[in-house]
Amino acid sequence: MSTDRLPRPEPRAVAVSCDGVRVPVAAERLATLARQVLQALRVPRAMLSITFVTARTSARLNATHLGHTGPTDVITFALGADPAGAVIGDIYICPDVARAQAREHGVGVREEIARLVVHGTLHACGWEHPEDETRTTSPMWRRQEQLVRRFWTTSSPRA
């Protein structure tokens, strides 16, 4: 019988998959970003999946789960917590929409994808924002931009 201990599982497990789409940022860098956000939010344990999807898949998820037409940038399913209290969530990001938003807001596509990872992670942790014009001044949006600046870029936040 071996006296070696099994490795302790990652308390903030994040899996990133690209589902056949091109993403201009390394999956591990995005997983690290999500873990940094979880740590900043003082989430002790989490299991997140971040999946990059085509515009077609995004539109299908958007219609099925939110009743909206067309693809969207990010959809998060906050699945609650497991019996041990770990935050569980699935985040779906559409790089095509992220590219268009990056152009519209004058930021790089990598930064916009990072912003969507932060946004989805906040939603998985229970943060919400209004859907009207006050969205970009909400506490969630301000926290999102602070975390993007802290962990991703030194440029000014987009509104």
The predicted structure's pLDDT at residue 6: 56
Cβ atoms of 29 and 70 closer than 8 Å: no
β-strand pairing of 46-52 with 87-93: parallel
- Tell me, yes or no, whether 86 lies in a domain: yes
- Tell me, yes or no, whether 7 lies in a domain: no
Could you give the number of structural domains in the chain? 1
- Tell me, yes or no, whether 158 lies in a domain: no
- Tell me, yes or no, whether 6 lies in a domain: no
- Tell me, yes or no, whether 4 lies in a domain: no
User: In this predicted model, what pLDDT tens digit does every residue of 46-105 receive, in sequence order?
Assistant: 999 999 999 999 999 999 999 999 999 999 999 988 888 889 999 999 999 999 999 999
The predicted structure's pLDDT at residue 83: 80
- Tell me, yes or no, whether 111 lies in a domain: yes
The predicted structure's pLDDT at residue 136: 86
User: In this predicted model, what pLDDT tens digit does every residue of 98-136 receive, in sequence order?
Assistant: 999 999 999 999 999 999 999 999 999 999 998 888 888
- Tell me, yes or no, whether 2 lies in a domain: no
156 pLDDT exceeds 50?
A: no
**Structural domain of 40:** 12-151
CA-CA distance, 117 to 124, in Å (whole number)?
Answer: 10
- pLDDT band of residue 11 (cuts 50, 70, 90) is confident
The CATH number for 77's domain is: 3.40.390.30
Cβ atoms of 14 and 87 closer than 8 Å: no
Instruction: Please give the backbone phi and psi of residue 46, each rounded to the nearest 5 degrees, phi first.
Output: -155, 155
